[in-house]
């Protein structure tokens, strides 16, 4: 009977410990990866400017898709913010300078796109500082914005970014546009329409809540330069067609001035 009681108590203790561990892991994952969370440090998302939209693009520059996107933005006279992967930027310096010359803002998106919720301090420091140095060398001016890959961060990540003069930026409008990789034109158009509709719903939701929309799309892929981003580029064009008559498109710098 004593053994039964001991086993029951041990099982209860183990279950309680597992519950605490699960809760702690859940808290950490929310704090580290939810775009809305400010628990690990302050990040920029979007101000109370419900008629404004910031288009931001991650994982470039891409030699195929970024030039197409630049043409679309130029036709609409809209400037965007591009969060660049360092290892790709150094391979395409003329394209990065073209983006800058067109009036777009360039941000730091790490050197190789790791998950900063789990990387150690040394790797985190190398990823951010190397990218920062290379981008500023290419551009000849400071880089002021940082978006952590996957939105993942720790307190050290955000503190390091700020020590480098970077404002950490997340988002409040994103859909899984990176999953749309079909080579079939009809499927690409369907995927683009679905991406644009989902983002439109988020833009409208943000406006009802009194906030601007900070949109994430992808003009490249972090694991390869061969990623198909046709649907994402077309979705951006659809959003521009829909919203340029009624909304103001801004770069993140505009929100920094309003803060």
Would you name the residues annotated as active-site residues?
58, 218
| Coarse DSSP helix, strand, coil percentages of the chain, rounded to the nearest 5 percent | 50, 15, 35
User: How far apart are the C-alpha atoms of 1 and 251, rounded to whole Å?
Assistant: 71
Give phi and psi for 256, each to the nearest 5.
Answer: -65, -40
Q: With residue 24 as reference, give the H or E element that holds it.
A: helix 2-33
If we measure between CA atoms, which residue out of 134, 125, 131, 132 comes closest to residue 158?
A: 125
Classify residue 46 by its DSSP letter: -
Alpha helices in 102-177 (DSSP H): 121-139, 155-163
Token pair 């919720």: residue: 117
Alpha-carbon distance of 199 to 197, in angstroms, equals 5
Q: What angle do CA 94, 96, 102 make, to 5 degrees?
A: 100
Cα-flanking dihedrals φ and ψ of residue 198, to 5°? -65, -45
User: How far is 195 from 203, CA to CA, in rounded Å?
Assistant: 12
Q: Report which DSSP code applies to 145.
A: E
Pull the structure tokens for residue 76.
């609409």
In 3D space, the residue among 146, 221, 206, 144 whose CA is nearest the CA of residue 173 turns out to be 206
């Amino acid at each position: 009977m004593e053994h039964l009681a001991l086993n029951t108590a041990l099982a209860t203790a183990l279950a309680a410990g597992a519950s605490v561990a699960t809760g702690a892991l859940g808290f950490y994952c929310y704090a580290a990866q939810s775009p809305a969370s400010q628990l690990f440090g302050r990040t920029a998302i979007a101000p109370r400017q419900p008629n404004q939209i910031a288009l931001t693009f991650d994982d470039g520059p891409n030699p195929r898709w970024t030039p197409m996107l630049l043409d679309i933005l130029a036709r609409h006279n809209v400037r965007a913010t591009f969060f660049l992967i360092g290892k790709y930027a150094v391979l395409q310096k003329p394209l990065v300078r073209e983006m800058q010359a067109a009036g777009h803002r360039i941000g730091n998106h790490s050197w190789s796109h790791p998950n900063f919720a789990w990387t150690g301090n040394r790797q985190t420091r190398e990823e951010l500082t190397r990218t920062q140095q290379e981008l500023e060398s290419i551009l000849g001016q400071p880089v002021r914005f940082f978006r952590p890959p996957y939105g993942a961060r720790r307190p050290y990540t955000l503190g390091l970014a700020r020590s480098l003069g970077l404002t950490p930026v997340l988002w409040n409008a994103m859909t899984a546009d990176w999953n749309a990789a079909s080579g079939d034109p009809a499927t690409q158009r369907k995927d683009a329409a679905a991406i644009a509709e989902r983002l439109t719903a988020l833009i409208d939701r943000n406006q009802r809540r009194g906030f601007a929309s900070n949109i994430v799309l992808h003009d490249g892929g972090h694991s390869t330069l061969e990623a198909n981003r046709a649907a994402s580029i077309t979705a951006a064009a659809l959003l521009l067609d829909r919203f340029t008559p009624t909304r103001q498109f801004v770069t993140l710098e505009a929100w920094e001035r309003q803060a």
